[in-house]
Amino acid sequence: MSKQIEAYTSLQMAFHKHLIHFMAFFTITGLPILAPGYFWFIAWGIGYPINFFSGDMQEAHIIASGMTALRVIHWSTAFLFTLFIIPFTISMLMNIRTWAIWPDRWGIAAMIDGLVQMKLHYIDQEHATFGKMNIGQKASAWVMVGCTILLVISGYALMMRGLIPEELAVLARSAHALSFILLMVVLVFHVYFATMPANKAAYKAMMKTGTLDEEIVKEHHGLWYEKLKRRGIVK
């Protein structure tokens, strides 16, 4: 058995796992507010048992109760998420120079080559030269980071809207919706590429072991392997 290379720390793995739970809660509780015409049934599903006990079974009142409950869950999730994200952010910022989402090579030619390598891997199924992450993963990671920052700031602005000007609150509402929508679209790609068989080893590393086999790193993540060699982690 060849050497195992640490791909993700236990903190990163734990954060990623729980981020899935947080996202599920945020999405389920946020969608009925964003698009009640399509997702009213979520509010209805939550409001029905509440109003069953209060005895007020009017349809409109059930939805209103459900929406109120969903907002409370949304806020509570936000509070827990904030507590959770602080240690992760501090830990990540301490190692900002070694982030895998920084470009391995800079410039337009490097970007074009990154796309060519992605085509080689995902379309032609040929050997490609990647860093720890490919250009698509890096781009989507930056979008996800940006959207998350925007969601947190706009979310808190809306929670404490009494303290900010009305115009800012309106902007925050739109920013919250727009960043969520963009995040959802990127997440579709993220989930797909993370779970497809071509990336089975990386999936296992993130969800279970945290490590990748040296041979896999050498073969599929050539640029990363070179970095590891320079750091003396592999020979």
Residues lying near another protein in the complex (CB under 8 A): 32-36, 43, 60-61, 63-64, 67-68, 71, 121-123, 125, 127, 161-162, 166, 169-171, 173-174, 177-178, 181-182, 184-185, 188-189, 192-193, 196-198, 200-201, 219
Q: Of 146, 143, 175, whose CA–CA distance to 158 is shortest?
A: 175
The residues with which 197 forms a beta bridge, in sequence order, are none
The residues with which 213 forms a beta bridge, in sequence order, are 4
List of E strands, the chain: 4-6, 211-213
* Residues 97/188, Cβ–Cβ less than 8 Å: no
Name the minimum Å distance from CB 138 to another protein. Answer: 18
- Read off the tokens for 142: 């930056």
The CA-atom distances, in angstroms, between 134 and each of 44, 51, 142, 219 are 43, 50, 12, 14
Name the minimum Å distance from CB 149 to another protein. Answer: 18
Pick 15 or 202: Cβ nearer another protein: 202
Name the minimum Å distance from CB 64 to another protein. Answer: 4
The CA-atom distances, in angstroms, between 24 and each of 40, 81, 184 are 17, 12, 11
Pick 62 or 228: Cβ nearer another protein: 62
Grouping H, G, I as helix, E, B as strand and the rest as coil, residue 212 is strand
Distance of CA 106 to the CA centre of its chain: 25
Name the minimum Å distance from CB 93 to another protein. Answer: 30
Pick 36 or 210: Cβ nearer another protein: 36
Name the minimum Å distance from CB 45 to another protein. Answer: 15
Q: Of 96, 189, 174, whose CA–CA distance to 135 is shortest?
A: 189
Name the minimum Å distance from CB 174 to another protein. Answer: 4
* Residues 172/154, Cβ–Cβ less than 8 Å: yes
Pick 93 or 126: Cβ nearer another protein: 126
Pick 61 or 227: Cβ nearer another protein: 61
Pick 35 or 57: Cβ nearer another protein: 35
Q: Of 71, 13, 20, whose CA–CA distance to 47 is shortest?
A: 71
